[in-house]
Amino acid sequence: MSFDFTKVIPLEGERADHYVARLTEGVLSRAQVRRVLAEGLLRRGGRRLANGDKLHADDAARFEDRGLSALLEAGQAGPVATPGLPLDIVWEDEALVAVNKPAGMAVQPLRPDETGTVVNGLLARFPEMRDIGGEPLCPAVVHRIDIETSGLVLAARTGVAYRALRNEFRRFQVRKFYLAAVEGHAEAGRCDTPLTHATHVPCRMRLARPDEIAGRGERGQKRVFAASTAWRPLKYVEERDQSLLEVEIRTGVTHQIRCHLAAAGHPLLGDPVYGRAKDGTGGGQALHSWKAMLAHPTTGELLTLEAPPPQAFPLG
């Protein structure tokens, strides 16, 4: 059995992952779209399509079943609530909830039957969140952090609050502060170089080249994301040659802090992608979402939300 979407015409030059996301809007998450392509469920002429493969208006692309029907049906159901899941809630009112997420806990499930994520715990406490926002597997959450990053995750309790918070993030009005333990003697600095996806390494970003930045928006051009990261030192431990930094970002590109700091010669401790997995600290990726300064989504009051770092955070 296969799902035949030949009646839904691809846009000329449309990426395969964008096509899948458009067809399954409101059902599959971005992670599930990537899974559909990685498992070869979208094929053209019998050949599997990758994320960035370009489609044409006369393409006849077919979705092979092989579990896709179950994925779609489950995606419509959404994630399950997990009562009793411990969450460190550092702010709660009628519009906004802030959670201090531990490292190792995912923000959202990748499958509807997955449990143990922040979203599962939030739905058990605030069932009204299920219908907020447009992402079935990540309702109500207004931003994400990596599974190995600890710290603040924000979620809305009403549709009005969700839209207000999302607009603040889109307009770069939210000030986000992180703690980062890095290699080397780091001085204050910043990096404003846009980022793009690495071509041959999955789930990795890199600094965009000048020609890629100049050609942003052209057909067939690799996608480039504006990113700005600033940091200042809080502590230097000479015997380890390691620094503790306060990092501020307003943009929110995937791996932004990790990539920019590594490019500056100061990769995060415990980062196996941009630095070294083993660094003598015994911990994982040393990045903590520490503080957020934003306007309250309903009152407009300036809020400063803070999540204390874990006791075992390096150099803390």
In the predicted structure, residue 11 carries a pLDDT above the cut 60: yes
Q: Which ranges in the chain are annotated with CATH 3.10.290.10?
A: 2-77
Nearest to 29 by CA among 99, 97, 112, 122: 112
Residue 58 exposed, middle or buried by CB count within 10 Å (0-12, 13-18, 19+): exposed
- Range from 28-42, 193-207, 289-303 that averages highest in pLDDT: 289-303
The amino acid occupying position 12 is E
| Token digits of residue 260 | 């920019």
Strand partners, 202: none
Residue 104: band (very low, low, confident or very high) from pLDDT cuts 50, 70, 90: very high
- Superfamily of segment(s) 2-77: RNA-binding S4 domain (3.10.290.10)
Q: Which ranges in the chain are annotated with CATH 3.30.2350.10?
A: 89-171, 178-289
Sign, Cα dihedral of 232, 234, 237, 242: negative
Range scoring the smallest mean pLDDT among 34-43, 227-236, 301-310: 34-43
Strand partners, 231: 189, 247
- Superfamily of segment(s) 89-171: Pseudouridine synthase (3.30.2350.10)
The pLDDT, as a whole number, for residue 78 is: 74
Active-site pick, 4, 146, 241, 279: 146
pLDDT, tens digit, for every residue of 64-80? 656 566 666 655 567 88
More confident residue, 113 or 196: 196
pLDDT, tens digit, for every residue of 208-231? 999 888 876 555 567 899 999 999
Q: Please state the pTM of the whole predicted model.
A: 0.78
Q: Is 192 a catalytic residue?
A: no
Phi, psi of 139 (to 5 degrees): -70, 145
- If you classify domain 178-289 with CATH, what class do you get? alpha beta
Region 86-108: what's the mean pLDDT?
A: 96
